[in-house]
Amino acid sequence: MNIPVLSLIDVHKKISDIFHLKNISIDFYPGKVCAVIGENGSGKSSLMNVISGLLPIDKGKMIFDNKPVSLSSINDGKTKGIYYVQQETNLFENLTVAENIFIDSLSYSYSPFSKIDFNEIYSMAEELFDELNVEFDPLAYVKNMNLSQRQILSFIKAYVANAKITIFDEPSSALTDIENNILFNIIDLLKSKGSSIILISHKIDRILKVGDQVAILRNGSIIEKGDLKDYSNEKIIQIISRSSRIDSFPKLHFEREEKILSIENINYKNNLNNISFSLQKQEILGIVGQSNSGKQQLIDVLFGISKPDLGNIILDGTSIHISHPHDAMEKGLALVPEDKMEFSIFGKLDLTNNLTMSSLKRFSKNYVLDNYITTNVAQNYIEKLNINPGNPQDYIIHYSGGNQQKVAFAKSIMHFAKIYILDEPTRGMDLASKNDVYNIMNNLLINGSSIIIFSSDFDEILGMSDRILVLSDGEITAELDTDHTNREELVYYLTL
Amino acid sequence: MFAIERIRIIKNYLLEKNKVSVNELSKMLDVSEVTIRRDLEKLEEEGMLIRTHGGAVLKKQTNPSNSNNMKTKSTDSTSPYSDLYEEIADIAIHIIENGDVIMLANGIINYHIAKKLDQKKNVTVLTNDLLVSIEASSSSSNKAVLLGGDVDYETKATFGALTAMDIQKFYVNKVFIEVDGIDVDTGISVSTIDKANLINSILPNSKEKIILCLGSNFNKTAFYNISRLDIAEKIVTNSNIDNSYKEYLSQLGIQLYTSINAVERGNI
């Protein structure tokens, strides 16, 4: 029993220029649940990608079933007995429930010319649902199922796979208690069959319920591991919230008395429930939430990408309707999205075009653009924001993440907005670029704008915002005054 | 287009061509000739150009004075560094909170800060700079305390034994110090011994130390050394400093404020 099914010994993996998995050594035992926790960006998913074979390791050893192993792909991992249930469900929309369940496990047992016995598949699925106590129609198509049903289906798939190691990545955030119990039941059954379970979750109480061991990650390293019975809720929070950085954020102070934005009772599908908050002129409002908290939906609603089912947005004292990003920009809202390449800048266009993109109306005369003028304007922003190397004719695709971010900023600054919505504005940047971004934010405030910042970097949120909202399962569960809170309290609310 | 953008384009165009015509600019920028004439008038006032019939020619620029030279506290907007001082002061004023007790040591950036103090309430300002004390006392809700001592002819500020003795009577929660050199190895330095002495006497009597400095004074060492860099809680400077400094100061835990002056607003 005490021989680990999988051991990682001093594993290193470079994920990006500034993020590495370092000195990862951990054992996974058959019939045990190992909970992996840590902040967003601490390396949980990267570690799972390494274990499942999605990413090859740079240094170190993986011992699987007493033999050194190197996995060449996620499929290689799967055939060897490592099954990975990712955060996003991976199902075939146009196939039925039963077909989805058995597509992995049965496809190998048929030879190319043998016929698939669908009746058998459907009756096997029925039996399975009885065993697990779930109510699914094996003949239903996946495209007609909602998100939590799809998640449950992925769990059942994992159960059928009956792998030596089963990884569940953040499975429980969008699920109800009943649905969670199905997951826990599956985990129990897998355990009794001797499978080793790796469970990534941020809900500490749930982890304490089903976990046997725990590994806490920060910044690409395991900072703590052991038997879960030695850990209390409070102790885990304490460990997660120990800050590794010193405070050096250029925070400014404004005398505020003017309200600029009120959000009243916003509801959107199942993702947002009665969201209400307000924003003052020259204020930085920080919003933190795990990846399934409804954060993306809130950004979409604020910027007119999604239309809320219910609720009011009041800007500068008047109720406004935003049904398209164009409306949002017209009304004075700007979004600097996390994924700049997809949503904000154009890799195949040069710096000048990228920078002036949102403000072309201002520079055109009779619908004609003058290159001299746009280049001149662009040049000015390139100098001011220290965009490097900064030749106006450069294609932006060759620029570093930090410089791309500055271009995305410059573009929305040029358009001038009352409220800037920033999504993970400094993720993956070096210290110097981060400092530049914070000072750009200050410049926006000095000129009368306000900022809503969504970030998973707690130090950044605590260092730059005036107030912090905690978003959890589509609801605001806490509002904290930055002067009177700390990391520990923030982590506490996030893991509730 | 915003007026500020238009004027900058005219400036750049003039620097390239040395000579511009009103008609040409009006066509390029799609505004009336009257507007262009008004812009040119403004630029003439700034000393940028000389207006001619139907246009303007570039005025030969005289060399800007040395940045360390603080002899003349010029208040006119044509001084080549005035924008840089102003940018720093724009940030520093938001470090001050209502009700603060602060010291503004003598210097031109602190003079610009003093001019903006009317945005704040109940601020008590301790200073050795006569001009700062005048500006700081111009709003009735703030209070200025001037340190006694020998008045220096060049800086119009008080120094010497009397000033140092006077300082011992006070405790401030923020002190704003303008320095002439910041360097990784040598730390913070100023160019006169009087100022060095003054700063050394206020350091023990202050809580938060805020260093102000032009970006061009980074990597420089002035004659009189004050202390290591890490006594500073905050540094406010222009944005053109080296990235290595941004990284270094962040690692030291010093809050670094740079005047990235990106936002331009104006009437269309």
In chain B, residues 5-44 whose CB comes closer than 8 Å to chain A: 5, 8-9, 12-13, 28-30
Same domain, residue pair B154 and B90: yes
CA angle A447, A448, A452 (to 5 degrees): 110
Taking CB atoms and an 8 Å cutoff, what residues of chain A touch B252? 248
B2–A442: do the CB atoms touch at under 8 Å? Answer: no
Q: Does A413 touch chain B (CB under 8 A)?
A: yes
- Do B16 and B94 reside in the same domain of the chain? no
Whether B70 maps to a domain, the answer reads no
The predicted model gives A57-62 an average pLDDT of: 91
Q: What share of chain B is helix, strand, coil (3-state, %, to 5)?
A: 40, 25, 40
Q: CA-CA distance, A100 to A103, in Å (whole number)?
A: 5
Do the Cβ atoms of A335 and A425 come closer than 8 Å?
no
- Show the tokens assigned to A134: 């779930």
Residue B104 burial (C-beta neighbours within 10 Å; 0-12, 13-18, 19+): buried
Does B46 reside within a domain?
Answer: yes
Judged by a CB distance cut-off of 8 A, whether residue B237 touches chain A is no
CB distance A413 to A356 below 8 Å: no
- Name the band, by pLDDT with cuts 50, 70 and 90, for residue A132: confident
What DSSP assignment string belongs to B224-245? EEEE-GGG-SEEEEETTS-HHH
Substitution target in A18, A246, A253 with the highest count of B β-carbons within 10 Å is A253
- C-alpha A101/C-alpha A95 separation (Å) is 10
Mean pLDDT value across residues A191-203: 89
Q: For residues B110 and B215, state if they share a domain.
A: yes
Q: Write down how long chain B is.
A: 268
Residue predicted with more confidence, B185 or A1: B185
Nearest to A277 by CA among A456, A88, A53, A450: A450
Residue A114: is it exposed, middle or buried by C-beta count within 10 angstroms (0-12/13-18/19+)?
Answer: exposed
Res. A244: pLDDT tops 70: no
Closest in A373, A381, A430 to B9, CB measured: A373
Residue B212 to residue B134: CA distance in whole angstroms = 21
Name the burial class of residue B185, with classes exposed (0-12), middle (13-18) and buried (19+) by CB atoms within 10 angstroms of its CB: exposed
User: What is the SS3 assignment for A430?
Assistant: coil
B240 and A386 within 8 Å at the Cβ level: the answer is yes
Closest CA to A168 of A189, A191, A197: A197
Give the C-alpha separation, B192 to B222, whole Å.
Answer: 9
HSE, CB side, 13 Å, CA atoms: give it for residue A361.
Answer: 6
Residue of chain B whose alpha carbon sits nearest to that of A407? B262
Q: Would you call A244 an interface residue with chain B, using a CB distance cutoff of 8 Å?
A: no
CB-based contact (8 Å) between A243 and chain B? no
Taking the Cβ of residue A435 and every Cβ of chain B, the question of whether any pair is shorter than 8 Å is answered with yes
Distance, in Å, from the CA atom of A370 to the CA atom of A365, rounded to the nearest integer, reads 8
Q: Grade residue A388 by pLDDT with cuts at 50, 70 and 90.
A: confident
- Stronger pLDDT, A148 or A7, i.e. the higher one: A7
Tokens of A267: 């509801």
Residues whose CB is less than 8 angstroms from the CB of residue A80 and which lie 6 or more positions away in sequence, other chains included: A53, A64, A69, A71, A164
Percent of chain A with pLDDT over 70: 96
Q: Is the peptide bond before A389 cis (omega within 30 degrees of 0)?
A: yes
Q: With beta carbons less than 8 A apart as the criterion, state whether A5 and A196 touch.
A: yes
Nearest CA in chain A to B262: A384
Mean of all residue pLDDT scores within chain A? 87
Q: Tokens 């035992």 map to which residue?
A: A29
| Closest residue to A365, CB basis, from B13, B30, B119 | B30
Q: Tokens 């999605």 belong to which residue?
A: A54
Determine the Cα–Cα distance for residues A247 and B253; give it in Å rounded to an integer.
6
**Structure tokens of B214?**
């032009």
Tokens of A453: 């910042």
Asked whether residue A376 carries a pLDDT value surpassing 50, the answer given is: yes
Cβ-defined contact of A252 to B239 (cutoff 8 Å): no
pLDDT at position B148 is 92
Secondary structure (DSSP) of B120-131: SSS-EEEESBHH
Residue B102's domain comprises 82-259
Quick one: B89 and B216 in the same domain? yes
Give the number of other CB atoms < 10 A from CB of residue A331. 18
A437 neighbors A351 (Cβ within 8 angstroms): no
- Which residue of chain B has the CA closest to A361? B1
Domains by residue range for chain A, with CATH: 6-241 (3.40.50.300), 259-494 (3.40.50.300)
Q: Who contacts A117 (Cβ-Cβ below 8 Å, separation ≥6)?
A: none
Q: Which residues of B are less than 8 Å from A406 in CB distance? A: none
Summarised one tens digit per residue, pLDDT across range A259-274 is 999 999 999 988 899 9
How does strand A67-68 pair with strand A59-64? antiparallel
Helix/strand number for chain B, H first, E second: 9, 15
User: Given an 8 Å threshold on Cβ–Cβ distance, is A432 in contact with B247?
Assistant: yes
- Determine the Cα–Cα distance for residues B41 and A373; give it in Å rounded to an integer: 21
> Quick check: is B73 in a domain?
no
Please give the structure tokens belonging to residue A243: 């800050």
Are B22 and B128 in a shared domain? no
**Which residue pairs from A50-54 have beta carbons closer than 8 angstroms and sit at least 24 positions apart in sequence?**
A50/A8, A50/A11, A50/A13, A50/A21, A50/A24, A51/A6, A51/A8, A51/A77, A51/A82, A51/A84, A51/A165, A51/A167, A51/A198, A52/A77, A52/A82, A52/A84, A52/A167, A53/A77, A53/A78, A53/A80, A53/A82, A54/A84
- Do residues B180 and B78 touch, judged by C-beta distance below 8 A? no
Residue B64 lies in a domain: no
More confident residue, A155 or A108: A155
C-alpha distances (whole Å) from A464 to each of A26, A290, A436 are 36, 19, 13
Closest CA relative to residue B36, chosen from B19, B23, B53: B23
Same domain as B191, residue B131? yes
**DSSP line for B52-65:** ETTEEEEPPPPPPP
CA distance B192 to A52: 66
pLDDT (tens place) for every residue of chain B, 268 residues total: 778 888 888 888 888 888 889 998 888 888 889 999 998 988 888 888 888 888 888 887 654 444 344 434 444 444 567 888 999 999 999 999 999 999 999 999 999 999 999 999 999 999 999 999 999 999 999 999 999 999 999 899 999 999 999 999 999 999 999 999 999 989 999 999 999 999 999 999 999 999 999 999 999 999 999 989 989 999 999 988 988 899 889 888 899 999 987 777 654 3
Instruction: Decide if B227 contacts B175 (C-beta within 8 A).
Output: no
Residue B126 sits in a domain of what CATH number?
3.40.50.1360
**Residue A373 class from Cβ within 10 Å (0-12 exposed, 13-18 middle, 19+ buried)?**
buried
pTM of the model: 0.77
Question: Would you say residue B121 lies in a domain?
Answer: yes
Q: In the numeric block, which tokens belong to residue B151?
A: 């008045």
**B149 plus B38 within the same structural domain:** no
- Contact B12/A376, CB-based, under 8 Å? yes
Q: Are A42 and A220 spatial neighbours (Cβ–Cβ below 8 Å)?
A: yes
Say yes or no: B100 and B11 in one domain. Answer: no
Which pLDDT does position A26 carry in this prediction? 93
Residue with tokens 């799809």, as numbered in its chain: A150
Final residue of a structural domain among B23, B43, B58: B58
The pLDDT tens digits for A405-425 are 888 888 888 878 899 999 988
Give the distance between the most distant pair of CA atoms in chain B.
65
pLDDT of residue A342: 67
Q: C-alpha distances in angstroms, B263 versus A250, A344, A414, B19, B259?
A: 18, 19, 7, 29, 11
CB of A34 closer than 8 Å to CB of A198: yes
The SS3 of residue A124 is helix
Nearest to A248 among B5, B94, B253 (CB): B253
Of A246, A255, A434, the CB nearest to B253: A246
Query: Is there a single domain that holds both residue B45 and residue B86?
Result: no
Judge if B138 and B24 occupy the same domain: no
How many Cβ contacts (< 8 angstroms) between chains A and B? 115
What integer pLDDT is reported at residue A370 of this predicted model? Answer: 80
In-domain check, residue B217: yes
End-to-end CA distance of chain B: 5
pLDDT at A25 over 90: yes
Residues B255 and B233 sit within 8 Å (Cβ to Cβ): yes
Pairing outcome for strands A259-268 and A272-280: antiparallel
- Cβ pair A454, A468 in contact under 8 A: no
Check whether A38 has a pLDDT greater than 80: yes
Comparing A29-33, A314-318, A347-351, B35-39, the range with the smallest average pLDDT is A347-351
User: Hey, which residues 105-134 in chain B have their CB within 8 Å of chain A?
Assistant: 119-121
Do A473 and A295 contact (CB within 8 A), yes or no? no
CA gap A306, A330 in Å, rounded: 17
CB neighbourhood size of B183 (10 A)? 17
In a domain, B264, yes or no: no
For residue B9, the domain's CATH number is 1.10.10.10
For A409, name the nearest residue in chain B, comparing CA atoms only. B262
Structural domain contains residue B207: yes
Residues B214 and B165 in one domain: yes
Residues from chain A that touch B91, judged by Cβ atoms under 8 A, are: 252, 442, 446
pLDDT tens for each residue of A453-468 = 998 888 899 999 999 9
Substitution target from A283, A382, A431, A433 for chain B, most B beta carbons within 10 A: A431
Nearest CA in chain A to B28: A370
* Number of domains, chain B: 2
B48 and B139 in a single domain? The answer is: no
Q: Which residues contact B17 (CB under 8 A, 6 or more apart)?
A: none
